[in-house]
């Protein structure tokens, strides 16, 4: 069955595109979406955790730094402000063979100095107890990380990871 489908060559095996409000309750939603999307590739538990963490970091950055929505937010909750910056975060996932590509994009304030932002422990929001580890985790848990950003021009994170260890490799562990 899979073989037949592959004959329709479109350059990828599966694709997901979504857009959601830049509010904190959508961080877990983005993680769940990406886990469900990669589940058919039979990723190991560790790979699953890696991808979820990397996506969580990128989405949280878009919400906190891109749009400045720093507070926890639950829709319809009395204590949550109705007036928040209404930015959108876009997530795009693609499976090609056994490789997952994920892009997380916002139209927020962008990054002044990408090289500096990448340094572990560097944060522009220490007062919010951000630890400056987000990019370090994305780098550690994914095979490839690219950051496309400029001040006032939003931010796009492009990550890749090979998934699904071979069965005989798993037995070795």
Partner 1 sequence: MEADFQVIDNYLMVKMPAEIDHHQSGAISRKADSFLLRDSIQGIVFDFEDTKFMDSSGVGIIMGRYKKISCLGGRIFAIHADRQIRRILYISGLSKIVEIME
Ligand X SMILES: Nc1ncnc2c1ncn2[C@@H]1O[C@H](COP(=O)(O)OP(=O)(O)OP(=O)(O)O)[C@@H](O)[C@H]1O
What is the set of active-site residues? 57, 61, 130
Contact between 26 and ligand X by CB under 6 A: the answer reads no
What's the min distance (Å) between Cβ of 120 and Mg ion? 11
Tell me how far, at minimum, the Cβ of 110 lies from ligand X, in Å: 6
Binds 62: which of ligand X, Mg ion, partner 1, none (CB < 5-8 Å by kind): ligand X
Answer with the entry of Mg ion, partner 1, ligand X, none that 111 interacts with (C-beta below 5 to 8 A by kind): ligand X
Q: How far is the CB of 141 from partner 1 (least distance, A)?
A: 8
90 binds ligand X (CB under 6 A): no
Q: Does 53 bind ligand X (CB under 6 A)?
A: no
Q: Which of ligand X, partner 1, Mg ion, none does 56 bind, CB closer than 5 to 8 A by kind?
A: partner 1
Is residue 117 near ligand X by the rule CB under 6 A? Answer: yes
| CB nearer to partner 1: pick between 29 and 92 | 29
**What's the min distance (Å) between Cβ of 58 and Mg ion?**
8
| Residue whose token pair is 């490839």 | 144
User: What backbone phi and psi angles, to 5 degrees, belong to 138?
Assistant: -60, -40
């Amino acid at each position: 069955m899979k073989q037949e489908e592959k004959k329709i060559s479109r350059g990828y095996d599966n694709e997901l595109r979504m857009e959601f409000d830049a509010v904190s309750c959508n961080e877990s939603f983005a993680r769940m979406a990406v886990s469900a999307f990669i589940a058919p590739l039979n990723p190991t538990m560790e790979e699953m955790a890696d991808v979820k963490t990397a996506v969580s970091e990128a989405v949280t950055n878009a919400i906190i730094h891109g749009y400045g929505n720093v507070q926890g937010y639950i829709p319809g909750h009395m204590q949550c402000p109705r007036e928040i910056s209404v930015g959108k975060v876009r997530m795009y996932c693609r499976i090609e063979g056994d490789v997952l590509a994920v892009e997380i994009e916002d139209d927020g304030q962008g990054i002044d100095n990408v090289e500096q932002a990448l340094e572990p422990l560097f944060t522009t929001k220490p007062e919010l107890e951000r630890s400056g580890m987000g990019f370090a985790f994305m780098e550690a848990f994914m095979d490839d990380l690219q950051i496309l950003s400029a001040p006032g021009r939003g931010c796009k994170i492009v990550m890749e990871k090979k998934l699904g260890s071979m069965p005989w490799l798993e037995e070795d562990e």
